Copies of this chain bind each other. A is one copy, B any other.
Amino acid sequence: MNFFNVLAVEEVDIILQKIASDYLAEEEIIDILQGRERIVSEAVFAPVDLPEFNRSTVDGYAVISQEVMGASSSMPSFLECSHEVVMGTEADLRVQKGQAVYVPTGGMVPAGADGMVMIEYVEKLDDKTILVHKPIAPLENMTLIGDDLKKGEIVIEKGKKLTSYDIGLLVGLGITKIKVYKKPRFAVISTGDEIVDLDEPQKIGQVRDINGYALSALITELGGQINKKVIVKDEFNWLQKVLKEALEEADIILISGGSSVGTRDYTKDVMTSLGGKVLVHGISIKPGKPTIVGQINEKIVFGLPGHPASALIVFDRFVKTYMQRTLRRCEKELSITAILESNVHASPGKETYQMVQLMRGEHDWRAVPFYAKSGMMTLLAKSSGYIRISNNQEGLMKGEKVEVFLFQEVMV
């Protein structure tokens, strides 16, 4: 019988890191407005200062701060004021001693002035004179050229996923195009004589293609692209033909099911028949042990377990991480510190992944373990995330602090 040569999680990580670091993801230039959630492939530097001119942050009067020093209601400063800055235009005048110029919020502060008095503290004496009732500190109520970003400063790091806020910032700098990594191309193959598609009639003994659709949705969510999604019966030639096509159309191929030791498990044999190298066959992780990782002509093939929960945990732990590495992601994954609500037993010698639901406690987050057999799909749909118990821990005790990794991609 063909037993597994099971590798530790860390060993698999090292293998995948190596493959990912050798992998050169292709780049493309896209419109900034299409950029949300894409991964920047080249650091972006500010092409101009932001703001590009000294800007008022209030409606009021541009003054020389020294001129209103000590001003008060009983002893206001008198300033001559016969000009105003028109919004959206250059302030092509200079504030002289004894003068003030009206500037609306966001308008350009004219040269000479070093601060803005808010309109609330000003009284209009006549058409040409104002009274200022309050002093200002130098540079009060204004932002200076480059205060937000200086020309040449780094704006977005290589490997960052663009957020809506980044889009705003890049628009502010007048950047219209951006270089990003092409979306990783995936093929998702579900194997098994019992698997039927969503639109097929289902007979007793058959099940729907949960893995195929859940994996496709996850890949899309994470910024990948599904180039092929197919259900294959347990037949060597069929799987070989489909895998051959997948290698043409995708960079990362997922085959779910068929990675155990049963008679119908062709995944490994099909991979070697196409000249592939099987790098991993079995990982000491629970759930997810019967996982295969292979390489065929620079393409990576993951054989995932057939049980949905196992397949999706392995996806989250290895495939997602691999994809993030090929895209040189620079952010850190966020985990939530929580207090464990009940004891959790672990499998000695295996890295155990325990699903939990996060609940709000009075002062902290509580992690409530969720139990179910590994085939159960509700387990994942109802969990917030999981905790990892390393292979040298026997388990975790109620009340312990644990780190919860969320199923959503949250990076900071």
Distance in angstroms from A267 CB to nearest chain B CB is: 13
Which chain A residues (370-385) contact chain B, with CB distance < 8 Å? 372-381, 384
* Contact pattern, A 394-412, Cβ under 8 Å of B = 1, otherwise 0: 0000000100001110101
C-alpha spacing A155/B391, complex, angstroms? 34
Question: Is A407 within 8 A of B90, CB to CB?
Answer: no
Inter-subunit contact A204/B147 (CB<8 Å): no
Is residue A112 within 8 Å, beta carbon to beta carbon, of the partner chain?
A: no
Q: Which of A190-205 contact B (CB under 8 A)?
A: 192-196, 198-199, 202-205
A276 within 8 A of B: no
Minimum CB distance partner of A401 in chain B: B363
- Interface: A52 (CB within 8 A): yes
Q: What B residues does A203 contact at CB under 8 A?
A: 88-90
Which residues 70-113 in A have Cβ within 8 Å of B in the complex?
85-91, 104-108
A373 to chain B, nearest CB (A): 5
Contact A165 B260 (CB under 8 A): no
Q: Would you list which residues of chain A between 327 and 354 have a CB under 8 Å from chain B?
A: 332, 334, 336-337
Q: A204-B53, A211-B168, A336-B334 are in contact. Are A194 and B378 (CB under 8 A)?
A: no
Copies in the complex: 2
Q: Decide: A57 near B307, CB < 8 A? Known: A147-B373, A358-B334.
A: yes
Closest-by-CB residue of B relative to A373 is: B143
| Residues B105 and A262 in contact, CB atoms below 8 Å apart | yes
Nearest-neighbour CB distance to chain B for A177, whole angstroms, equals: 11
Q: Identify the 6 closest CB pairs spanning chains A and B, nearest first.
A: A168-B214, A164-B217, A59-B262, A88-B194, A87-B193, A88-B193
* Interface residues of A, Cβ cutoff 8 Å to B: 1, 32-33, 36, 50-53, 55, 57, 59, 85-91, 104-108, 119-120, 143, 147-149, 155, 163-169, 171-174, 176, 192-196, 198-199, 202-211, 213-214, 217-218, 220-221, 234, 257, 260-264, 306-308, 312, 332, 334, 336-337, 357-358, 360, 363-365, 372-381, 384, 401, 406-408, 410, 412
